[in-house]
Structure 1
Amino acid sequence: MLGNMYPFWAAIVANLLTQGLKPLVVYRNTKVWDSKLFVESGGFPSSHTSTVVALALAVGLQERFSSTNFAVAALFALIVMYDAANVRYYAGQNIQITQQLIRDIQILTDAKLDNAIYMTRVKEVLGHKWFEVIGGIGVGLLVASLMYFLR
């Protein structure tokens, strides 16, 4: 049924599943429902990670783990996971610190911060903590494995 497109569909299913899990996880922890989380980045589990891990595993299962395509997919997955847990995570931390500094300056000084740039609200959660990435790895491995054995 999935044919040669199995890696593609495994990646898509993993992504949709993890995006669907995010509001459920937040609701379980906070008892607050936020449907916007279906399309937001960041949070548990990492949908970027689940997508690339499912893709890499599916390529390995379909084309062998010694193939060039698997090597490319695995390297791509490693880059995405590193980016999610480091570069994007720390960019989000930097945004939080900068916005707090602006609030502190407005409260503690007479400085006029009336330029629109200071009022712009920027998304603070861009990346992931490592346990969120690990959650994405688990979902990606599970989805690709189940789809491989059920096809």
Structure 2
Amino acid sequence: MNIFHNIPLIASLAAIITAQGLKIPLGFISDGTWNLSRAIGTGGMPSSHSAAVVSLATVIGMNDGWSSSMFAIAAVVSAITMYDAAGVRRHAGMHASSINRIAKSIKFLHPHSSTEIKQDDELKELLGHRPIEVFGGAVWGVVVGLVMYYLSTISHF
């Protein structure tokens, strides 16, 4: 099978790219600023990881059947990925935020310290997702998966 005819793979990649692209206008709606770096960053609405795995599971379910072993694998990987995005990775980001605040307060308390904390030294705080962002990514993944599946059936990809 030609890799360019692999609809589950194409759907997953399309879900990632479009979810990352959606972060720019959704960010503008949320905070009123256009930030193009959202398209390549982690975190934010919608979760591109969730969109990717759910679109994969959707296409596999539609193509191979909802009771297939392939769908079961994709569904379990989706659940683990989404749990990780909203759990472990989100908490790692919260820890990074706390560590950054502590580092800044140390500098504030000891202004003559030889240790200078630069912007580049700060830990990345936006690593994971709030549950609503994971849910948004999952919904987007279903939409992309269904669109890609139906496009493949009518065009015989």
TM-score (norm 1): 0.90
Indicate yes or no: 2:80 matched with 1:79: yes
What is the root-mean-square deviation in Å for CA atoms of aligned residues? Answer: 2.2
Please state how far the C-alpha of 1:111 moved relative to its aligned partner: 7.8
Cα distance in 1 for residues equivalent to 2:8 and 2:35: 31
The C-alpha deviation readout for 1:7-30, integer Å capped at 9, x for no partner, is: 111111111110000011111222
Contact 2:107 2:117 in 1 (8 A): no
| Aligned residue number for residue 15 of structure 1 | 16
Cα distance in 1 for residues equivalent to 2:120 and 2:53: 36
Please state how far the C-alpha of 1:3 moved relative to its aligned partner: 8.3
Structure 1's 25 and 42: CA in aligned 2 closer, same or farther, altered over 3 A?
Answer: same
Indicate yes or no: 2:126 matched with 1:125: yes
Aligned residues: 150
Please state how far the C-alpha of 1:70 moved relative to its aligned partner: 1.0
Contact 2:13 2:52 in 1 (8 A): yes
Which residue type is aligned with residue 13 of structure 1? A
Cα distance in 2 for residues equivalent to 1:9 and 1:104: 47
The percent of aligned pairs where both chains have the same amino acid is 34
Q: Which runs of 4+ in 1 moved over 6 A?
A: 115-119
Q: Which stretches in structure 1 are left out of the alignment for 5+ residues? A: none
TM-score (norm 2): 0.87
Please state how far the C-alpha of 1:121 moved relative to its aligned partner: 2.0
The residue correspondences of 1:44-63 to structure 2 (distance < 5 A) are 44-63=45-64
Q: Which stretch of structure 1 is more off in the superposition, 140-149 or 113-122?
A: 113-122
Task: Give the 3-state SS of the residue equivalent to 1:146 in structure 2.
Answer: helix
| Aligned residue number for residue 67 of structure 2 | 66
